[in-house]
Chains A and B, each alone.
Chain A
Amino acid sequence: MAMTVHVDIVSAEGEIFSGLAEMVYAHGVMGELGIAPRHTPLVTRLKPGEVRVDKGSGEMQHFYVSGGILEVQPHVITILADTAIRARDLDEAAAEEAKRRAEEALAGQHADFEYAKAQAELAEAVAQLRAIERLRKAKKN
């Protein structure tokens, strides 16, 4: 039997693949990689593209990753796949967008957190809930 290596492909939203393979092909930032069992330890960033897992006997599984990180240990290959296209300026734009949303939503608001007011209102809400609970209990008895 040919040598195999355990391969895990996971993304933040779920596991994509887990199993044994004879060879894994991926697009690293420095170029195309083909990883066989007992490969030397390696960590690399991945470019968006296809990841192929050769499960032996001519069975090949294809996955698309939009980037991520590939970690190779002698007997385990882990691919931490991104589900979104990532780039520095894209992330930057997303961060700006999030800040802008916050500013828009809170326009004209004072930046000081009013502790007393918040406390009072929260206490009231909780008291309401408790009162309802008590009423219900009293009713049952």
Chain B
Amino acid sequence: MAGGKEIRTKIASIKNTQKITSAMQLVAAAKMRKAQDRMSATRPYADKMRQVIGHLHHAHPEYKHSFMKEREVKRIGYIIVSSDRGLCGGLNNNLFRMLAKEIRVYREKGIEVEFCTIGKKALGFFRRFGGNVRAQITQLGDQPHIENLIGTVKAMLDAYESGEIDRIYVVYNKFVNTMTQAPMVEQLVPITSEGEAELKHHWDYIYEPDSKDVLDNLLSRYLESLVYQAVVENGACEQSARMVAMKSATDNAGELINELQLVYNKARQAAITQEISEIVAGAAAV
């Protein structure tokens, strides 16, 4: 029987792979649901914060925090949100490709770029290609906590306040739906005015200890929460991308198994036919 055993082991090994990919698909689906819940849970905080900042801004139009001032752009900082693990299709690659395009545009204008990476994939990317990475964090896990991000974000905001960088962008994947993730570059600071809600009425507050202190605190938390949102959203994207990738891997494995099974059956049949004809020929000779 020509290659019968080899085909059988091959089928067995593909079946094992298929088991793994379908398990990964199920796990990713479950995690995606949780990540989506987490995504919607982060919204009220940012919304409330935007309202409070809007109020403060209305009450004190003369006081402009440095996070709100536009200035001439010489250096740009990117906070890049990526996944820690692979096997999620082209998710990270698409993001990096878009980023690389942006970087080229700025480089042609003579603007320098700096980075801050979240997640192993982004770090690996810059480890390969170089680039001024100011801060990084990896291994945030499936349930990212904001306290792990504080340092990384602060490192960038400090650089902004000391004038080392003039603008900060967040680069992440936006969750459109389970099948689609859109790579996004969003401006973090200076805070764009579209974020401020129009108010019908406003009032002045009593500030404790004072307005500047409160606003400083609010703004840094607001920016952290935006980055946190990006991380959570990217997490949901990662899971959904992995789910889709693993689903197609499972389907492919199934197709391969079917094809191999066909080849195996043919080989087996041929072997049996041959054996029979040998026996018959042998019997006729006697």
- Which chain A residues have a beta carbon within 8 Å of chain B's beta carbons? 8, 10-15, 28-30, 40-45, 69, 71-73, 78, 80, 82-84, 86, 91-99, 101-102, 105-106, 109-115, 117-119, 121-123, 125-126, 129, 136, 139
Contacts and interface: CB of A to CB of B under 8 A. Distances in A.
Interface stretch (B13-21, B67-75, B144-152, B169-177): B144-152
A75 B89 CA distance: 49
Contacts of A86: 150
Given A80-B221, A102-B134, A115-B129, 14 more contacts: A13-B146, A14-B42, A40-B206, A43-B208, A44-B208, A80-B45, A84-B147, A98-B136, A98-B154, A101-B137, A105-B133, A109-B126, A113-B130, A139-B255
Q: Mostly helix, strand, loop or mixed at chain A's interface? A: mixed
B65 interface: no
Nearest to A86: B150
Contacts of A101: 135-137
A98 B156 CA distance: 10
B96 A28 contact: no
Interface centre among B56, B107, B208, B213 (most CB of A within 10 A): B208
A45 B136 contact: no
Contacts of B46: 12
B152 A98 contact: yes
Interface centre among A10, A136, A139 (most CB of B within 10 A): A10
6 contacts: A12-B45, A43-B52, A99-B135, A109-B126, A115-B129, A126-B93
A45 B130 contact: no
B103 A115 contact: yes
**What 8 pairs across the A-B complex have the smallest Cβ distances?**
A94-B151, A84-B147, A14-B41, A98-B135, A44-B208, A113-B131, A98-B151, A95-B154
Contacts of B158: 95
B49 interface: yes
Interface in B14-57: 38, 41-42, 44-46, 48-49, 51-52, 55-56
A11 B56 CA distance: 20
Q: Mostly helix, strand, loop or mixed at chain B's interface? A: helix
B126 to A, nearest CB: 7
A41 B204 contact: yes
B129 A83 contact: no
Interface string B208-228: 110101100110010011001
Given A69-B214, A111-B131, A115-B107, A30 B151 contact: no
Interface centre among A11, A42, A93, A118 (most CB of B within 10 A): A118
B96 A118 contact: yes
Contacts of B127: 105-106, 109
Contact of B52 (A71, A109, A139): A71
Given A45-B209, A98-B155, A10 B48 contact: yes
Contacts of A12: 42, 45-46, 146, 221, 224-225, 228
A102 B151 CA distance: 12
Contacts of B85: none
A122 B96 contact: yes
A121 B129 CA distance: 10
A134 to B, nearest CB: 14
A80 B134 contact: no
Contacts of A14: 38, 41-42, 44-45
B151 A113 contact: no
Contact of B100 (A40, A84, A97, A122): A122
